[in-house]
A = this chain, B = another copy of it.
Amino acid sequence: MTPGLPMVVPEPGLPERVTIYEVGPRDGLQNEQALVPVAVKAELVQRLVAAGLPVVEATSFVHPRWVPQLADAEELMTILGEAGRRHPVLVPNERGLDRALALGLQHVAIFGSATETFAQKNLNRTLETQLAMFEPTVRRARDAGMDVRAYVSMCFGDPWEGPVDPRQVVDVGRRLLDLGASQLSLGDTIGVGTAGQVTALVQAFRDAGVDEGRLAMHFHDTYGQALTNTHAALRAGITTFDASAGGLGGCPYAKSATGNLATEDLVWMLTGLGIEHGVDLGALVATSTWLAGELGRPSPSAVVRALA
C-alpha cells in the first residue's frame, strides 16, 4: 500500500481499463454562483490534463443569459489554444454549434432528457421537438467531422414523473444514436438510482441491440449511491464514467446539490480494483485542493479531504 494509494486487489469479471470523462470544468463550474476568472478555468483544464485525465469537457456554448458563469467560453477555448481543440464542449443547439465550429473544435456534446416533463421544464420543449432540434445540430456537427456525445438526463428517476421506465430511456437513447451521436452519457440527474436499476438499464440497452461500449454513466451522489452504482455498472461491462474533480458541482449542505461523483473517489476505487485509468491521484488531489482555495470552500470529495 503506497502512501496515498489503496492496496490493489482485483475483482474477477471487471473491465481491465476504463475512460474517465472529466466534467468538472463544465458541469461542475456551471453551478458556481461567483464568477470564476477565466485564467483559473484554463489552469484547471490544463492541470486536469497534466494529471492524466484523458477527456476533459471544457465549457458550454450555452447562451450567457442562462449560464453567466460560462459566458467566457470563447475566451477560455482561445487561451487553451491548439491543444484545447480536442476538449469536448457542450452545445445546447445550433447557435452553440456555430460557436464551436468557428473555433475549429473537434468534439461536442448535446444535452437531452429521457422524460417528457424534464424536457419541458429544462428545455421548454416536448421530447419530440427536443429530438427534432438535435437533428440539424448533430448532422451539421458530423458533416464537419466532429464527434458528438449525447447526454441523456433523468435516466433513473425524475422529480416530477417519479420512476423512469428503462424502455423510455432506451427509446430516446437509440434515437440519439440514430441521429449520429457516438456515445450516450446516461445521467442519474437527481441521484436516486440504486445498483439494481443500473444493471437493468444496461441490460435494456443490450436487449435493444446497443452495445455497452457506446454507453457512459453519469452518476450524482445526492443519495450517496454514485460510487456503488459505478461499481454495478463496471460489473455490467460499462467502461466510460463521468466524474467531476473534487466533486465540483455538488454543494454538500444544499438540498439542491447536484453532487457529481468526485473523480478522486472514483480513482481510489479503480486503483484498488487494479483497473487502469491513467490518472495520477496525487496530482489530481493537488489540483482539487488548489481549486477549493480559489473557490473559497472545501471539496466534498472524501479522498480529497483525506489526502489534502
Contact = CB atoms under 8 A, between A and B. Distances in A.
A199 B302 contact: no
B157 A1 contact: yes
A253 B305 contact: yes
Contacts of A80: none
Contacts of A257: 305-306
Contacts of A308: 255
A9 B255 contact: no
Contacts of A255: 305-306, 308
A199 to B, nearest CB: 6
A269 B195 contact: yes
Nearest to A265: B224
Interface string A260-278: 0010010011011110000
A194 B269 contact: yes
A177 interface: no
Interface stretch (A97-105, A205-213, A225-233): A225-233
A306 B235 CA distance: 27
A157 B7 contact: yes
Contacts of A9: 194, 196-197, 199-200
Contacts of A15: none
Nearest to A192: B6
A10 B196 contact: yes
Interface string A264-308: 010011011110000000000000000000000010111101101
A228 B232 CA distance: 9
A224 to B, nearest CB: 4
A259 B7 contact: no
A308 B298 CA distance: 22
Contact of A196 (B199, B225, B259, B274): B274
Contacts of A137: none
A230 B227 CA distance: 11
Contact of A195 (B11, B303, B305): B11
A252 interface: yes
10 contacts: A7-B156, A7-B157, A7-B193, A11-B232, A194-B268, A194-B271, A224-B268, A252-B252, A253-B298, A254-B305
What are the 6 tightest A-B residue pairs by CB atom distance, in nearest-first order?
Answer: A194-B272, A224-B265, A224-B302, A9-B196, A1-B162, A11-B196
